[in-house]
Structure 1
Amino acid sequence: MAIRTVTHLNFRGDARAALEFYRHVFGGELVAISYRDAHAAQDESEADQIMWGQVASANGFCIMAYDVPSRLAWSPGEIPFFVSVRGDSAEEISAYWEKLMDGAVVVQPLAPSGWAPLYGMIRDRFGVTWVLDVESQQAR
């Protein structure tokens, strides 16, 4: 039996745009079900927001997202989580980094570090903090 973890991101009206952006960055298939699609809309103004969404690619990347309805409390917090993307090569990680840069703020520049051949941290235009690195031999 095998399990895997998938980061699930919570938004307030931006889930579709975020998932489309992540599909652009990482490739793969986007599946999105709105509250309207699921016959679960409690507020007509939020009916087209995402109740469940996912981007999954053949290389193993997978992320889920949804829009928290306005009837529920929601605060993104200061640093509630990081999404870590670990690759095998500098070329792969650099390509993701360049695409994530669209509207982003660099938290830690992409560069060699003491624990990884290449490491960087970026906060994307949706407020999600991404850690990108090339896996070192110690992490295997």
Structure 2
Amino acid sequence: MTIGLTPYLQFSGTARHALEFYHSVFGGDLEMMTYAQGMGTEDESKDLIMHGSLFIERGVHLMAADAPPGMPSVLGTVSLSNSAPDDAEHTTLEKWWEKLSEGAEINEPMAKSPWGDTFGMLTDRFGVPWMVNASR
């Protein structure tokens, strides 16, 4: 049985900008629905993202939304890793790292790790922590 897991990020009013940034990093197909479109709301949340979906090649699916006003947003760490040595995937992960690094706080520079892979950690400009591990 195959189970697909999808990271779902929740923001406080910056989901649209974050999703547009991730689209510029990863490419893929981006879809967004506001609270006005999805729920017909006309209050201060009408332009916030109720549901955002970024389908990225290689089977990655990233979702995000804005928490409604008054509700806290919760951000977790997103981890990208290839499980089998593959030069093309390694190169893709390194390119994604470079783009995610723009405006980010680098917590651990992308470098050869003690376990032999290339590894790095950063917190992007939207406050989302990322870990990237590229096997060779």
Match of 1:26 in 2: 26
Which residue pairs with 2:79 in the alignment? 84
Residue 129 (structure 2) aligns with: 129
Structure 1 residues not aligned, in runs of 5+: none
- SS of equivalent to 1:55: strand
- 1:106-134, Cα deviation, whole Å (9 max, x unpaired): 00010011224200001000000110111
Tell me the amino acid that sits aligned with residue 71 of structure 1.
G
Rounded to whole Å, the distance in 1 between the matches of 2:13 and 2:73 is 13
Counterpart position of 1:95: 95
Structure 2 unaligned regions, length at least 5: none
Deviations 1:73-107 (A, max 9, x none): x154xxx6210111344422221111011110100
Q: Which residue in the other structure is 1:9 paired with? A: 9
CA RMSD of aligned residues (A): 1.7
Identity level (%): 37
* Cα deviation digits, residues 36-63 of structure 1 (max 9, x gap): 001342x622101111111111222211
Aligned residues: 131
CA distance in 2 between partners of 1:28 and 1:111 (Å): 27
Instruction: State the TM-score, normalizing by the size of structure 1.
Output: 0.85
Q: Secondary structure at the match of 2:16?
A: helix
Partner of 2:104: 104
Alpha-carbon separation, structure 2, partners of 1:34 and 1:75: 16
Task: Measure, in 1, the Cα distance between the counterparts of 2:51 and 2:28.
Answer: 17
